[in-house]
Copies of this chain bind each other. A is one copy, B any other.
Amino acid sequence: MDVATLVGLFGALGVIITSIFIGGSVGTFINVPSLVVVVGGTAMVTLTQVTLAQFIGSFKVGLGAFFYKTTKPEELIEEAVELADTARKEGILALESREIADPFLNTGIGMCIDGHPTEVVQKMLSKDINLTLERQNTGIKTFKAAGDAAPAMGMIGTLIGLVQMLSNMEDPKSIGPAMAVALLTTLYGAVIANAVALPIAEKLRGISASERLNKLLVLESIAAIQDGTNPRVLQQLLTTYLPENRREALVKNGK
């Protein structure tokens, strides 16, 4: 579990709420109709753009941003090098009884054992990567859409409030509070977009990118295992997937 996203999200909301508490008069900041316009409106506008399944699924995808567990490339490299070692010594069929932690590596090795030629395995796995990326894109786009809709709904709410205030200015004392309420929807929209929806969309994009890199690493490993590449050469090849300061550690542990 990646704690950064959780800390960041609640930290940002915490900072905003604290700053409201410091100014006193917390009640001013809670206005149910304003909240309904912005949250409801944002949800509806987002729903227009996707299918019902995608809309509901995006909540699950959003949770994934918090509880996603990245496989470290080091673990993948170690596992791939071991498999290459076994395959080289005992043949590729010896991998059948092996338990493989990474599901994508597992699928790929399964294909090799089934006897598909290298190009077929590579083509099918590549397509799997591309189509997975396209599917993950849907989740990212849903949060991005919500992040675009929220400030727009906030502005619409503020415009409604301003029009109501301006067309009824008999009591000068009510102008200030009426404008305060009108501004609330803009505030809600800005918070939802900038502290919640857009950062989660960006986080999902980051997860999608690092998953893609892991899958490319697996793709390369499987090609090497099928070609009977020397495990040491494979390890050297795969370390390029690591930043320079983490390469050393692997070489020390790996030998």
- Which residues of A are at the interface with B, using a C-beta cutoff of 8 A? 2-5, 7-9, 11-12, 14-16, 18-20, 22-25, 28-29, 33, 36-37, 40-41, 43-52, 54-55, 70, 124, 127-128, 131, 134-135, 145, 149, 152-153, 155-157, 159-169, 176-177, 179-180, 183-184, 186-187, 190-191, 193-195, 199-200, 202-203, 206, 209, 213, 236-237, 240-241, 243
Chain B: minimal CB distance from A115 (Å): 11
Q: Is the CB of B55 within 8 A of A167?
A: no
Contact (Cβ within 8 A) B159 A187: yes
Contacts of A152 in B (CB 8 A): 190, 193-194
Which residue from chain B places its CB closest to the CB of A242 in the assembled complex? B131
Q: Helix, strand, loop or mixed for chain A's interface?
A: helix
- Judge whether B155 and A29 touch: CB under 8 Å: no
Partner of A131, one of B127, B131, B155, B240: B240
- Rounded to whole angstroms, the CA-CA distance of A45 and B11 in the bound complex is 8
**Copies of this chain, whole number:** 5
Partner of A186, one of B4, B50, B51, B159: B159
A9 to chain B: closest residue by CB: B48
Closest B residue to A193 using CB positions = B152
Residues of B within 8 A of A41 (CB): 12, 15-16, 195
Q: Chain B residues with Cβ under 8 A from A199's Cβ?
A: 45, 48-49, 145, 149
